[in-house]
Amino acid sequence: MNKIFMNAKEVQDFLGVSRTTAYQLINEMNEELIKMGYRTQRGKVNRQYFMEKYCYSTNYVEKGVCFGSL
């Protein structure tokens, strides 16, 4: 089963950043989600939003939007 939210450890491992940076990124993304009218969970970020933000969404990959220049 794929979890809906990613915690700081998952973000840290995925991006290869420190735990502090992972929390900062989560907070930034959650602020963006709040501005769009979504509710968030402290210390976690919506997995789909995270993947779209970092161009790992299958929609973007299939269209070549993020990786087209590689």
pTM for the whole structure? 0.78
Residue 70 confidence (pLDDT): 40
Render pLDDT for 9-65 as a digit per residue (tens, 0 to 9).
999 999 999 999 999 999 999 999 999 999 999 999 999 999 999 887 655 545 555
Q: Is residue 11, in this structure, part of any structural domain at all?
A: yes
Domain range for 13 is: 5-62
Residue 1 confidence (pLDDT): 55
Confidence of residue 66 (pLDDT cuts 50, 70, 90): low
Q: Is residue 68, in this structure, part of any structural domain at all?
A: no
Q: What whole-number distance in Å separates Cα of residue 11 and Cα of residue 31? A: 16
Q: Is residue 47, in this structure, part of any structural domain at all?
A: yes
Q: Is residue 31, in this structure, part of any structural domain at all?
A: yes
Q: Is residue 32, in this structure, part of any structural domain at all?
A: yes
Q: Is residue 33, in this structure, part of any structural domain at all?
A: yes
Q: Is residue 42, in this structure, part of any structural domain at all?
A: yes
Domain total of the chain:
1
Q: Is residue 55, in this structure, part of any structural domain at all?
A: yes
